[in-house]
């Protein structure tokens, strides 16, 4: 079967002509499958051949053999050229252009174009020119007044006559010339912000434009750029007041205005200048991050190409990235040195992906954001590559030298997680080690002797692995005048803490002595012992009456104490010896001279002193 067991859906009829023998065009592309004949439109004065293609659900068939040649009779053109325009390329000419008509539209031999034009003023007569070459698409008419309006049209003609449709008239203009006047009264009304200013000027007369008035142009440049770096901002239409926001922040800007037409700029106005405010910076030029150990990233960037003011530093933010979600934005400690272009971001989670943001800052605020993403390393350690470092001296006020050491990790290899510095005098053999630096890529070594040569080494660390840099000699500056010891904080000074501990210890000893003194200053139990032996003649007043004698004669006192006939008379000496424990001529527990009441001594005192004196002495 001809349909190859799939019903034919429709047919396509194609043709070519003797003008394009190698190109087949679709005459109709959806001829019903039930039709065996079809009427096709044809152009005059052409040789046609046809072929047919069948289509089913599988696809198109191979084309049928082409038909015999079919020749049509000549006729007048059925149309005129399209896209007729008129405008000058020079101030004194008029150029009329159109789209070339292909041969299939000529409809007869000896095809040509007839071009008509006249100035668009009352009473002006049409002028014409025949273009015999059908491939030509323009006519240049010289010696015309500058920028005048014309009416133009183009007619298609062959040996049968003009086209059977009327040509469409178009409006054209002769050539434009340079405008003759500059805008006046150009001024800056207000500087609104870091890159904007409100400008105004007076309009130029219309006849001075000498062309199609397109508007005004603001030309501006900065003192640093010069006129070679001039930029132009278009102000469309006839407005004479505009807010321009293309100025450079924190700069002396120059500006002028001019009118322009479709071909030329007019003369510029007087130039004005003004200072713009400081603005926020643009983005940094690049930003990269390199893993440092398993919990830090080493950040490197380049300062903004457009600082738009005086840079004051950088703000760095970071957040975790888990699949398509991001964590809260965390800010790293701000960088206040605008010259710094490297930083360490520490305290991160091992094997975690982070989004890192950086913004340059000026006094106007934070600039545009630049962000990247980077993942920290897993927790395994590695031997760091050999680090490098730079150093420079820092002025100090106490006479000692200070050196700032900046660690430069090898970003192409294994950086390490942190570092410390080893240094010594060149003539010595033992190095002093600084504290390990975990959060920054620099440290300051203080207290160095001025006018000496030191040897410095930076040590990169990753876990237990360490790698030393090449040693480098650092010469400290000599200073004039005495070396002033840096002031200490008294509250944390060692001598102050030691003194306070000593005072506290002495106070504790004094308190203990006072307690012991108080416990030993009470009465001895002499009264109770005497009462047990029958002596009851003690007065009621307080005092040390245990050692005083009664106010009457001695025999009365002793008689009262000797009431027991079986016991020998007891003396004061005996009483003291009984309670005094040992030699009564020595100091006793309360420090009194009890020995004065011993044998012999007691009697001498009684002969020389009265009882009241004895009581007073005791």
Assess if residue 382 is contained within a domain.
no
Q: Where are the beta strands (DSSP E) in 177-336?
A: 187-191, 197-200, 215-222, 231-236, 241-244, 252-260, 272-275, 286-292, 296-302, 313-322, 325-326, 330-331
- β-strand partners of 273: 254
pLDDT of residue 381: 76
pLDDT tens sequence across 23-34: 999 999 999 999
Do 138 and 119 lie in one domain? The reply is yes
Assess if residue 520 is contained within a domain.
no
Least Cα distance to 470 among 397, 368, 389 occurs for 389
Tell how far CA 385 is from the center of its chain: 29
Residues 6+ away with beta carbon under 8 Å from 304: 281, 282, 283, 284, 285, 311, 360, 367
**How far separated are the first and last CA of the chain, in Å rounded?**
158
pLDDT band, residue 613 (cuts 50/70/90) = very low
What CATH number should be reported for the domain holding residue 243?
2.60.40.10
| Segment of 16-25, 107-116, 415-424, 514-523 carrying the highest mean pLDDT | 107-116
pLDDT of residue 481: 44
Confidence check: pLDDT of 368 > 70: yes
pLDDT of residue 407: 86
**Burial (0-12, 13-18, 19+ Cβ within 10 Å), 51:** middle
Dihedral sign for Cα 474, 480, 481, 484, please: negative
Q: Taking the CA atoms of the chain, what radius of gyration do you get in angstroms?
A: 58
pLDDT of residue 586: 45
Do 367 and 399 lie in one domain? The reply is no
Do 271 and 290 lie in one domain? The reply is no
Residues 6+ away with beta carbon under 8 Å from 505: none
Dihedral sign for Cα 530, 532, 538, 540, please: positive
Secondary structure (H, E, C), 120-136: CCCCCCCEEEEECCCCC
Q: Among residues of the chain, what percentage have pLDDT more than 90?
A: 63
Average pLDDT over residues 251-267: 96
Distance of CA 53 to CAs 40, 65, 324, Å? Answer: 15, 10, 54
Q: Name the domain boundary from 275, 304, 329.
A: 275
Q: Which two tokens stand for residue 17?
A: 């002509």
Identify the residue whose tokens are 């962000």. 371
Domain count, the chain: 6
Average pLDDT over residues 103-124: 96
Q: Name the domain boundary from 71, 103, 119.
A: 71
Residue 335 to residue 330: CA distance in whole angstroms: 15
Secondary structure (H, E, C), 538-592: CCCCCCCHHHCCCCCCHHHHHHHHCCCCCCCCCCHHHHHHHHHCCCCCCCCCCCC
Least confident of 105-119, 168-182, 235-249, 577-591: 577-591
Assess if residue 310 is contained within a domain.
yes
Phi first, then psi, for residue 208 (nearest 5°) are -85, -10
Identify the residue whose tokens are 């190095």. 431
Q: Name the domain boundary from 173, 204, 219.
A: 173
Higher pLDDT, 432 or 564: 432
Predicted TM-score of the model (pTM):
0.58
Assess if residue 488 is contained within a domain.
no
**For residue 293, what are the domain limits?**
286-375
Question: Contact, 96 vs 175, CB < 8 A?
Answer: no
pLDDT band, residue 558 (cuts 50/70/90) = very low
Residue 440 to residue 616: CA distance in whole angstroms: 82
Residues 6+ away with beta carbon under 8 Å from 285: 301, 302, 303, 304, 305
Assess if residue 610 is contained within a domain.
yes
pLDDT tens sequence across 435-480: 998 888 889 998 898 889 999 999 998 888 899 999 999 998 765 5
Do 107 and 65 lie in one domain? The reply is no
CA angle, 34 then 35 then 37, to 5° = 160
Do 144 and 219 lie in one domain? The reply is no
Identify the residue whose tokens are 């450079």. 248
Classify residue 581 as left (phi > 0), alpha (psi -120 to 50) or beta: left
Tell how far CA 461 is from the center of its chain: 28
Assess if residue 517 is contained within a domain.
no
Assess if residue 151 is contained within a domain.
yes
Element (H, E) at 443: strand 442-448
Residue 353 to residue 75: CA distance in whole angstroms: 78
Do 398 and 446 lie in one domain? The reply is yes
Phi first, then psi, for residue 96 (nearest 5°) are -105, 130
Assess if residue 543 is contained within a domain.
yes
SS3 for 256?
A: strand
pLDDT tens sequence across 481-507: 444 444 555 555 677 888 888 999 899
Eight-class DSSP state of 60 = B
Do 163 and 230 lie in one domain? The reply is no
DSSP character string of 492-520 = G-HHHHHHHHHHHHHHHHHHHHHHHHHHH
């Amino acid at each position: 079967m001809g349909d190859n067991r799939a019903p034919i859906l429709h047919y396509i009829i194609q043709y070519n002509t003797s003008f394009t023998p190698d190109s087949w065009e679709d005459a109709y592309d959806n001829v019903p499958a039930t039709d065996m004949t079809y009427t096709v439109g044809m152009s005059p004065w052409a040789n046609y051949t046809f072929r047919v293609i069948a289509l089913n659900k599988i696809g198109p068939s191979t084309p049928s053999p082409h038909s015999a040649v079919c020749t049509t009779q000549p006729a007048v053109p059925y149309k005129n050229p399209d896209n007729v325009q008129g405008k000058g390329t020079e101030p004194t000419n008029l150029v009329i252009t159109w789209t070339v008509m292909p041969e299939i539209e000529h409809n007869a031999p000896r095809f040509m174009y007839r071009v008509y034009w006249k100035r668009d003023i009352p009473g002006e007569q049409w002028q014409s020119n025949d273009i015999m070459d059908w491939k030509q698409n323009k006519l240049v008419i010289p010696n015309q007044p500058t920028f005048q309006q014309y009416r133009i049209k183009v007619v298609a003609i062959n040996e049968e006559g003009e086209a059977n449709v009327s040509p469409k008239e178009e409006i054209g203009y002769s050539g434009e010339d340079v405008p003759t006047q500059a805008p006046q009264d150009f001024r800056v009304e207000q500087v609104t912000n870091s890159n904007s200013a409100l400008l105004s000027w007076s309009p130029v007369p219309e006849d001075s434009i000498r062309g199609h008035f397109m508007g005004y142009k603001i030309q501006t440049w900065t003192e640093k750029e010069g006129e070679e770096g001039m930029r132009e901002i278009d102000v469309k239409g006839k407005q004479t007041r505009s807010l321009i926001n293309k100025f450079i922040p924190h700069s002396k800007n120059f500006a002028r205005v001019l009118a322009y037409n479709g071909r030329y700029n007019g003369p510029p106005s007087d130039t004005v200048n003004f200072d713009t405010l400081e603005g926020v910076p643009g983005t940094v030029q690049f930003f990269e991050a390199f893993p440092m150990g398993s919990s830090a990233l080493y950040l490197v960037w380049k300062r903004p190409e457009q600082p738009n003011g005086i840079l004051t530093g950088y703000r760095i933010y970071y957040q975790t990235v888990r699949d398509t979600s991001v964590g809260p934005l965390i800010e790293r400690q701000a960088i206040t040195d605008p010259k710094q272009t490297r930083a360490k971001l520490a305290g991160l989670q091992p094997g975690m992906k982070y989004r890192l943001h950086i913004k340059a800052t000026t006094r106007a605020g934070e600039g545009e954001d630049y962000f990247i993403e980077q993942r920290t390393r897993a927790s395994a350690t590695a031997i760091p590559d050999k680090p490098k470092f730079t150093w420079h001296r820092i002025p100090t006020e106490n006479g000692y030298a200070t050196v700032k050491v900046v660690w430069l990790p090898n970003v192409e290899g294994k950086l390490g997680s942190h570092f410390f510095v080893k240094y010594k005098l060149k003539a010595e053999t033992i190095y002093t080690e600084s504290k390990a630096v975990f959060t920054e890529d620099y440290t300051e070594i203080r207290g160095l002797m001025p006018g000496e040569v030191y040897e410095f080494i930076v040590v990169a660390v990753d876990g237990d692995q360490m790698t030393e840099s090449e040693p480098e000699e650092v010469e400290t500056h000599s200073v004039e005048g005495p070396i002033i010891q840096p002031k200490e904080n008294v509250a944390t000074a060692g001598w102050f803490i030691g003194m306070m501990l000593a005072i506290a210890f002495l106070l504790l000893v004094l308190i203990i002595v006072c307690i012991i003194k108080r416990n030993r200053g009470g009465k001895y139990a002499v009264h109770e012992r005497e009462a047990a032996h029958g002596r009851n003649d003690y007065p009621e007043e307080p005092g040390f009456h245990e050692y005083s004698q009664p106010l009457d004669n001695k025999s009365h006192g002793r008689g009262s104490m000797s009431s027991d006939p079986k016991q020998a008379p007891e003396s004061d000496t005996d009483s003291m010896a009984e309670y005094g424990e040992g030699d009564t001529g020595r100091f006793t527990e309360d420090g009194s001279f009890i020995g004065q009441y011993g044998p012999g001594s007691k009697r001498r005192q009684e002969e020389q002193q009265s009882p009241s004196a004895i009581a007073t002495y005791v």
